[in-house]
Amino acid sequence: MLDDSEPVDVSAVTMPPDNVDDRAPYPTSIDE
């Protein structure tokens, strides 16, 4: 069961970065 949870965690962590790149332009406005 632990092995099944490990791979899922990696997939979730790899997905955020992809979305962050697309959302980069949005957060930039908040920074300003």
What is the tens place of the pLDDT at every residue in 1-32? 556 656 565 555 555 555 555 555 655 555 55
Distance CA 32, CA 19 (A): 20
Radius of gyration of the chain (CA): 14
pLDDT for res 10: 57
pTM score, whole prediction: 0.13
**Residue span of the structural domain in which 8 resides:** 2-31
How many structural domains compose the chain?
1
pLDDT for res 14: 56
